[in-house]
């Protein structure tokens, strides 16, 4: 079983926020003890972190689930619940994250880059937070917010300094084994290499001058065939690992068993690279004749090597090291060393039609506004109305075309909308708390809401 996995799925679940506490001071010799319920703790976040110590997505193949811990509930005496612990999920540098619909969410291309994949739920406020001159004994508190949860597709695109490109059995694995400590499988039949192999190559190691030695990462990309850019064979799986390479090293088979003459091999390989991603043709590249010890075809347009005997290998390595140094310097002038932290954009409030004269309000801010433990409490409903108005939900509903008597659902709260010349549709005094039975009778598509039968 291969230890290299470049595609996997991840299920991230952030921690839920803790619930706020409803509590009143009940101490001897303390007159008129007020509310003292503490807040719930925030749930932990789930972060993806690009780590150069990771080289594969193997750890997600059998264990795709990553979960942060929940926040603790608040308690009496204004004691707040503890925050849940964050989880940092290490992924290889070059990991791209996609939604299940195939939309790219983030590209973790540099070491240390971070992305917030699942945000922890906010802890609920205790009843002590709702004390005011008009509300002296609030008997309600907030529920904790549910943490975000999502499935994502992970795709690794190796970030190597040099990518070895050529037809199957051209000698790429032999070359990387010659110049590095990598030990790929080597055999005399095509497609011996089915996954990329990485090796660290060091040039100028014997130089007496400090700074002359250069280290770079070489990737042995599995052999390409004609039609790879259209997905023939495993073309797409192989070619995507070439995308991030700074320098391309194209090997041409000079032996008698070569599938095409060297010039035809070069023409086919460059066409496949251009068809897959046109800017690959602009990358610095070195054209090398391989298997020089078994040469049958003439190739005098560039460097010829033999990875078996070592002929021309040192010269090739030095040439590649020079090109890698130049590419790194160009990148240093255009890129900052500052670690990038990616966070999702705030979720907007949206209004959608959920049925005949039925409307659904969605968005994290709107759901936060109605997350009280007891929505039958008049003071809690008054606070809900104030919050929704501050968010502009009444204006959004009016623009969407809501009419008097329509049922509006926000999270666990459903109410009938009405409007007159004096007050807006979110005025609690004119609302009737719609029961689940009534709602199903009118609009069968609205379900999953509480079964309260109270009038507010």
Percent of the chain with pLDDT over 70: 79
CA 45 to each of CA 111, 154, 343: distance values in angstroms, whole numbers, following the listed order? 20, 19, 11
Least confident stretch, 103-112, 164-173, 433-442: 433-442
From residue 77, give the alpha-carbon distance in Å to each of 24, 34, 127, 143, 180: 8, 10, 11, 18, 65
Mean pLDDT of 423-435: 49
pLDDT tens for each residue of 149-199: 999 999 988 778 898 888 888 888 889 888 887 665 554 444 444 567 778
Q: 353-363, pLDDT tens digit by residue?
A: 988 889 999 98
Higher local confidence (pLDDT), 425 or 446: 425
pLDDT value at position 73? 96
pLDDT at residue 229 greater than cutoff 90: no
pTM: 0.70
Q: Give residue-wise pLDDT tens across range 202-216.
A: 886 444 444 456 788
Strands 358-362 and 407-410: parallel
Max CA separation in the chain (angstroms): 104
Q: Give the residue with greater pLDDT, 144 vs 299.
A: 144
User: pLDDT tens-digit profile of 237-275?
Assistant: 667 778 888 999 999 989 888 888 999 989 988 888 888
Q: Are 410 and 361 in contact (CB under 8 A)?
A: yes
Structure-model confidence comparison of residues 45 and 340, the more confident one? 45
Q: What share of the chain is helix, strand, coil (3-state, %, to 5)?
A: 25, 25, 55
With cut-offs at 50, 70 and 90, classify the pLDDT of residue 451: very low
**According to the model, what pLDDT value does residue 204 have?**
66
Residue 123 tokens, joined: 């802890």
Lowest mean pLDDT among 131-140, 211-220, 229-238, 398-407: 229-238
Q: To 10 degrees, the CA torsion angle through 315, 194, 217, 60?
A: 180
- The average pLDDT across 112-140 equals 91
Position 452 pLDDT exceeds 50: no
pLDDT exceeds cutoff 90 at 419: no
Structural domains of the chain in order of their starting residue, each with its CATH number: 1-156 (2.70.210.12), 162-334 (3.40.50.300), 350-442 (3.30.300.350)
Per-residue pLDDT, averaged over 37-57, amounts to: 91
pLDDT digits (tens, 9 = 90+) for 373-385: 888 888 888 888 8
The predicted structure's pLDDT at residue 52:
83
**What radius of gyration do the chain's Cα atoms show?**
32
The pLDDT assigned to 17 comes to 95
Contact 222, 266 (CB under 8 A): no
DSSP string of 360-419, one letter each residue: EEESHHHHHHT-BS-TTSHHHHHHHHHHHHHTTHHHHHHHHT--TT-EEEETTEEEE---
Are 93 and 6 within 8 A, CB to CB? no
CB-CB neighbours of 3 under 10 Å: 8
* Helix orientation angle between 313-334 and 172-179, rounded to the nearest 10 degrees: 80
In this structure, of 68-77, 133-142, 163-172, 215-224, the range with the lowest mean pLDDT score is 215-224
Alpha-carbon distance of 93 to 55, in angstroms, equals: 8
Can you tell me whether residue 161 is helix, strand or coil?
coil
Residues forming a β-bridge with 199: 218
Query: What is the per-residue pLDDT for 237?
Result: 62
């Amino acid at each position: 079983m291969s230890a290299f996995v470049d595609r996997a799925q991840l299920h991230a679940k952030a921690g839920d926020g803790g619930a706020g506490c409803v509590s009143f001071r009940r101490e001897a010799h303390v007159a008129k003890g007020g509310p003292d319920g503490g807040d719930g703790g925030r749930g932990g976040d789930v972060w993806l972190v690009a780590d150069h110590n990771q080289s594969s997505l193997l750890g997600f193949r059998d264990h795709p689930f990553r979960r942060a811990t929940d926040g603790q509930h608040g308690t009496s005496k204004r004691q707040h619940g503890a925050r849940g612990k964050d989880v940092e999920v290490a992924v290889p540098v070059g990991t791209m994250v996609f939604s299940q619909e195939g939309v790219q969410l983030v590209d973790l291309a540099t070491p240390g880059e971070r992305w917030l994949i699942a945000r922890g739920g906010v802890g609920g406020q205790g009843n002590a937070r709702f004390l005011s001159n008009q509300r002296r004994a609030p008997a309600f508190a907030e529920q904790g917010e549910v943490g975000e949860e999502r499935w994502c597709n992970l795709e690794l695109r190796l970030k190597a300094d040099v990518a070895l490109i050529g037809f199957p059995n051209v000698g790429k694995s032999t070359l990387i084994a010659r110049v590095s400590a990598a030990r790929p499988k080597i055999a005399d039949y095509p497609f011996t290499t089915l996954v990329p192999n990485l090796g660290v190559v060091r040039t100028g190691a014997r130089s007496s001058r400090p700074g002359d030695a250069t280290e770079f990462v070489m990737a042995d990309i599995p052999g390409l065939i004609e039609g790879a850019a259209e997905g023939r064979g495993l073309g797409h799986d192989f070619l995507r690992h070439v995308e991030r390479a700074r320098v391309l090293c194209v090997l041409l088979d000079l032996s008698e068993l070569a599938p095409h003459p060297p010039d035809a091999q070069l023409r086919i390989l460059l066409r496949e690279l251009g068809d897959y991603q046109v800017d690959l043709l602009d990358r610095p590249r070195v054209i090398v004749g391989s298997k020089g010890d078994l040469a049958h075809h003439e190739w005098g347009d560039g460097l010829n090597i033999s990875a078996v005997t070592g002929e021309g290998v040192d010269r090739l390595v030095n040439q590649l090291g020079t090109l890698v140094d130049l590419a790194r310097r160009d990148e240093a002038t255009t890129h900052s060393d500052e670690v990038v932290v990616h966070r999702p954009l705030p979720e907007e409030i949206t209004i959608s039609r959920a049925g005949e004269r039925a409307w659904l309000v969605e968005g994290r801010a709107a759901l936060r506004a109605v997350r009280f433990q007891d929505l039958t409490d008049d003071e809690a409903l008054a606070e809900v109305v104030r919050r929704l108005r501050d968010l502009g939900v009444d204006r959004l509903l009016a623009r969407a075309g809501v009419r008097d008597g329509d049922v509006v659902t926000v999270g666990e709260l459903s109410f009938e909308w009405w409007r007159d010349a004096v007050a807006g549709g979110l005025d609690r005094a004119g609302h009737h708390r719609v029961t689940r039975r009534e709602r199903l009778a009118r609009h069968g598509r609205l379900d999953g809401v509480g079964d309260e039968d109270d009038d507010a």
